[in-house]
């Protein structure tokens, strides 16, 4: 589930194209904090929600380059300053020998940064022992668009909007009733 703190109305769709059009209409209508659930990734859903380009790529690039520079200068320091050994008459700082470790250090630091930043900062994937799925079909073949009631209109307005968009089932959920499930169906 998302971090929705208010009662919300969920519309369920079985066709991904209809769901994508409903998300675009919800974004165009100005709904705030709406959320979508899908059983598999849909190409272009981020544009439908109005998401901007992710900041993760810039962070990963910075850490990749930092790791590569750190790997190169670690080898340079060890071979030139700390423990200089003449190998086959080559100079102490023969950079072609450093290419593999430099590449691997950069890739390792970029991959670890991507993993930890994505898990803990972007997706906020922390252990949640009591997660409740609002409808079991969401993991199989059902798509959902959840719109919080606060700031987006009355529940009846949101239900009418979702029915206009082609939702097959519409339900109102309240925060205190999530353990039991749906409050009322439309």
The secondary structure of the chain in percent helix, strand, coil, rounded to multiples of 5, reads 50, 10, 40
116 occurs within a structural domain: yes
The values of phi and psi at residue 56, to 5°, are -65, -35
Instruction: Provide the residue range defining the domain that includes 60.
Output: 56-122
| Domain C-terminal end among 98, 122, 146 | 122
Residues 175 and 18 sit within 8 Å (Cβ to Cβ): no
| Domain C-terminal end among 97, 122, 147 | 122
Q: What is the pLDDT of residue 92?
A: 81
Q: What is the distance between the terminal CA atoms of the chain, rounded to a whole angstrom? A: 21
47 and 27 share one domain: yes
Q: What is the pLDDT of residue 66?
A: 98
- DSSP structural state of residue 132: -
25: its two tokens = 């209409």
Q: What is the pLDDT of residue 5?
A: 58
Alpha helices, H only, 11-146: 16-29, 45-49, 56-76, 99-116
Q: What is the pLDDT of residue 179?
A: 43
Q: Using CA of residue 33, residue 34, residue 40, residue 43, what is the dihedral sign?
A: negative
175 and 137 share one domain: yes
CA R_g for the chain: 25
97 and 39 share one domain: no
38 and 69 share one domain: no
3 occurs within a structural domain: no
106 occurs within a structural domain: yes
Q: What is the pLDDT of residue 50?
A: 83
57: its two tokens = 């790529």
Q: Is this model's pTM higher than 0.75 or not? A: no
Q: What is the pLDDT of residue 175?
A: 65
| Domain C-terminal end among 68, 96, 122 | 122
Residues 60 and 110 sit within 8 Å (Cβ to Cβ): yes
Which run of H or E residues covers position 44? none
Q: What is the pLDDT of residue 183?
A: 47
30 and 83 share one domain: no
Number of domains in the chain: 2
Q: What is the pLDDT of residue 181?
A: 45
Average pLDDT along the chain, 186 residues, taken 10 residues at a time:
66 92 92 88 85 90 97 94 84 87 97 93 81 79 90 87 92 64 49
């Amino acid at each position: 589930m998302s971090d929705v703190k208010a009662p919300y109305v969920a519309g369920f769709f079985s066709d991904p194209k209809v769901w994508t059009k409903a998300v675009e209409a919800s974004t165009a209508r100005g709904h705030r904090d709406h959320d979508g659930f899908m059983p598999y990734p849909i190409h272009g859903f981020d544009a439908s929600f109005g998401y901007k380009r992710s900041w993760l790529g810039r962070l990963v690039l910075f850490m990749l380059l930092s790791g590569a520079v750190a790997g190169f200068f670690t080898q340079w320091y060890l071979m030139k300053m700390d423990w200089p050994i003449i190998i086959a008459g080559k100079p102490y700082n023969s950079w072609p020998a450093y290419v593999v470790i430099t590449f691997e250090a950069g890739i390792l630091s970029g991959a670890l940064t991507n993993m930890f930043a994505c898990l803990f900062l972007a997706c906020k994937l922390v252990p949640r022992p009591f997660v409740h799925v609002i409808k079991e079909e969401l993991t199989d073949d059902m798509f959902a668009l959840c719109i919080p009631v606060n700031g987006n209109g009355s529940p009846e307005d949101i239900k009418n909007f979702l029915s206009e968009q082609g939702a097959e089932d519409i339900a109102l959920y309240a925060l205190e009733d999530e353990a039991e499930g749906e409050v009322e169906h439309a």
